[in-house]
A = this chain, B = another copy of it.
Amino acid sequence: MQYSAEKLTEEKVFKDPVHRYVHVRDRVIWDLIGTKEFQRLRRIKQLGTTFLTFHGAEHSRFNHSLGVYEIVRRMIDDVFAGRPEWNNDERLLTLCAALLHDLGHGPFSHSFEKVFDFDHEDLTRAIILGNTEVNKILQRVSPDFPTQVAEVIAKTSAKKLVVSMISSQIDADRMDYLQRDAYFTGVSYGQFDMERILRVMRPREEQVVIKKSGMHAVEDYIMSRYQMYWQVYFHPVSRSAEVILTKILHRAKYLYENNYSFKLEPIHFTSLFKEQVTLEDYLKLDESVCFYYFQIWQEEQDPIISDLCRRFVNRNLFKYAEFDPAKEYKKLAELTVLFEKAGIDPDYYLVVDSSSDLPYDFYRPGEEEERLPIHLLMKNGELRELSRESEIVDAISGKRRTDHKLYYPADFLEDDSNQSELKKQMRALLE
């Protein structure tokens, strides 16, 4: 039998707290899950530093990747199969892309990508096309199958329907992470009726559309997304941890570039510091490795890296103040001077962090990031863009919300020594 059509003699079932069960029948999927590149996702948290705010958020990207796969599998097997608009030959491609869409994520992706200037999407592509166990399995399906999978994930594939199942404003990726992150953090916001949404999804040439009768479930999903962003993903305490983490990486790179002598040679980071990341090195990097170094660096002689690592490992975070860049840039300048005067390096200890989100948008051609809008399938067969039908979505459509905060180590400002006057001034400006 062809490898791509092989079924397991007995279906494998994963107990999943969000979807109850994840079902695997295809040999290819089973083999992909067993690869070391996929197993590596167990050592990378789905929500990075969020566990320092919501202690339940310790779940991994492995968890989430199985969930996205399962949602896509249900879409196909329970809803799309048998419909003329759906070509079942795309089934395996879609499942593989769903399973592997986050494969290139490393530890604390957001911070690492910013500091070392790379993109996890490029790495996903590299893993799928490179010399890896994943690539070997995909090759067995057909020589160009790895490329096909990579293109779906990169959204460059011509198979727009398949792309939209995994990446769009209402896709399996978002539907899984909203529910999963809500489940593990314990917040009630991420709940929406996914079963209903799946049942009203319909395949169309260019994208998945939603039957009009399911519009309210979609509204609920968009509101869930909005709440999760502001209640969980952009939580100011998690951002504090992220600020510290980013500064650790900056400092380590700086020290390396300045030939600082680390007690333990940071071999896992060297290629990152040089901004010449190799696939082999990258695959060795996970959160265990990071925590190993952060622990060790607590005892480095450099006072900045040791202080920041102690803060991160033992959760002794920065405090924050609201900050309006348009109005308060002068205050920031003033504070910068005071920090320098007090011997507290403002590059590391006075940090503006901004979070910004657009809950939903209709299509605005030519914008920086063109977004495919959600389309409703009306009773008469026409498609209508969601915000034209939903008053609630219309009300928030295209409204970007941004939040700025200024992070600083409050404990450093409590000093009552000879700097007491100086620190009083700093505190006055910050509190």
Contacts and interface: CB of A to CB of B under 8 A. Distances in A.
A199 B185 CA distance: 19
A127 interface: no
Contacts of A223: 220, 223, 392
A56 interface: yes
A188 B187 CA distance: 15
Interface residues of A, number: 63
A310 to B, nearest CB: 8
A56 B15 contact: yes
Contact of A284 (B51, B219, B295, B395): B295
A39 B292 contact: no
A60 interface: yes
Interface string A60-97: 10110010000000000000000000000000000000
Contact of A227 (B216, B287, B291): B216
Interface in A189-229: 189, 191-193, 195, 199, 216, 219-220, 223, 226-227
A341 interface: no
Interface string A273-298: 00000000000101111111001000
Contact of A39 (B183, B289, B315, B395): B315
Contacts of A227: 216, 219-220
Nearest to A16: B186
Interface in A292-319: 292, 295, 313-316
B391 A16 contact: no
Interface in A148-203: 183-189, 191-193, 195, 199
User: How many identical chains are in the complex?
Assistant: 4
A289 B298 CA distance: 14
B193 A188 contact: yes
B291 A295 contact: no
Contacts of A325: none
Contact of A55 (B43, B63, B288, B289): B63
Given A43-B291, A216-B189, A56 B316 contact: no
Nearest to A60: B58
A118 interface: no
Given A191-B191, A391-B399, A396-B392, A17 B291 contact: no
26 contacts: A15-B56, A15-B187, A20-B195, A39-B313, A42-B51, A43-B291, A58-B58, A58-B60, A58-B63, A184-B184, A187-B193, A188-B220, A189-B193, A189-B216, A216-B230, A216-B231, A220-B223, A220-B227, A288-B289, A289-B291, A289-B295, A391-B396, A391-B399, A391-B401, A392-B395, A395-B395
Closest 10 CB pairs of A and B: A395-B395, A17-B186, A288-B291, A292-B292, A36-B314, A288-B288, A188-B193, A17-B56, A15-B186, A39-B314
Interface of A: 13-18, 20-21, 34-36, 39, 42-43, 51, 54-56, 58-60, 62-63, 66, 183-189, 191-193, 195, 199, 216, 219-220, 223, 226-227, 230-231, 284, 286-292, 295, 313-316, 391-392, 395-396, 399, 401
